Amino acid sequence: MILSEKKPSWLRRRMGDSGSLSEVLSTVRENQLHTVCGEALCPNQLECFGRGTATFLLLGPGCTRRCTFCAVDKSTVHPPDSDEPVHTARAVARLGLKFCVLTMVTRDDLPDGGAGHIAQTVEAVRRSCPGLGVELLISDLKGNWQALEKILNTLPDVLNHNLETVPRLYPTVRPQADYQQSLKLLSLAAGHVPPLVTKSGIMLGLGEKKEEVLRVMDDLREAGCRILTLGQYLAPSHRHHPIFRYLPPEEFCEYEKEARARGFSGVASAPLVRSSYQAEQLFLSARR
């Protein structure tokens, strides 16, 4: 059953405090940066920007993959902008962030998948903001573990890599990704010396069954993952993967209980949760 009716009430966003909204937008614009918030049409933009935070999208805006749920531009990719690390550091400093999330598109066209550029950006933001908390939401680097090492050696406070959905749906949702490869990436990060806090996220409402979601939770725990996000899939357009079902908030609460019972120390599970939503709070709760 494919759903096309009106969004249920729990998915309608109230306008948050737009306090620092314009500050975030001008900072992003003036530093020629991209945010995944804007590129992926995140429903929480106003709330997060209003709180003065954003997730910077590196190596974009174009991606070399064709995930059917994702609004990010897939038409073309450009050579990495060598000024992006410094521009990102400047933006983070200007926004006075205490914790920042850096994400990336997948760049299968680059020998190291862009890992070197990500590492440079982490070093730049850390230089300009000593003590800043850094979460990296990375691609699967096509399973290039040497490239992954470059990123892990920057010792991000949180290493995030989304599984996005259950393995049965990969061919239609993430056709160029590999479920086991993504799990391996997370276990390498958790097993890094020193060990890193790892995080992953899945969207619900794409046609997955409950037992499949619980199986994914078990796989993630086996891979040493400590933080989990679960949110409702919302189709960016009719050209994207259809929404199969709107899950009511109670089901997200059920999943949160299941996740905590399996030992995840940081869990965000609600219809409008996205992978970097309230990232700092989740990190702090996982550290406790």
Contact residues toward ligand SF4 (CB under 6 A) are 63, 65, 67, 70, 72, 105-106, 139
| Tokens found for residue 282 | 């989740």
Distance, in Å, from the CA atom of 266 to the CA atom of 66, rounded to the nearest integer, reads 30
Decide whether 20 or 103 has the Cβ nearer to ligand SF4. 103
Phi, psi of 206, deg, nearest 5:
-100, 0
Phi, psi of 228, deg, nearest 5:
-135, 135
Decide whether 20 or 229 has the Cβ nearer to ligand SF4. 229
Decide whether 63 or 102 has the Cβ nearer to ligand SF4. 63
Closest distance between ligand SF4 and the C-beta of residue 3, in Å? 22
Q: Are strands 99-104 and 55-58 parallel, antiparallel or unpaired?
A: parallel
Phi, psi of 170, deg, nearest 5:
-55, -45
Is there a contact between 270 and 281 (Cβ–Cβ < 8 Å)?
A: no
Cβ count within 10 A of residue 4: 8
Distance, in Å, from the CA atom of 123 to the CA atom of 66, rounded to the nearest integer, reads 30
Distance, in Å, from the CA atom of 277 to the CA atom of 113, rounded to the nearest integer, reads 25
Closest distance between ligand SF4 and the C-beta of residue 131, in Å? 29
Which of 99, 202, 213, 113 shows the shortest CA–CA distance to 158? 99
Q: Which residues contact 261 (CB under 8 A, 6 or more apart)?
A: none
Closest distance between ligand SF4 and the C-beta of residue 98, in Å? 26
Decide whether 9 or 75 has the Cβ nearer to ligand SF4. 75
Closest distance between ligand SF4 and the C-beta of residue 249, in Å? 25
List, as one string, the DSSP characters of 187-255: HHHHTSSS--EEEEEEEE-SS--HHHHHHHHHHHHHTT--EEEEEE---SSTTSPPP--PPPHHHHHHH
| Tokens found for residue 241 | 């993967």
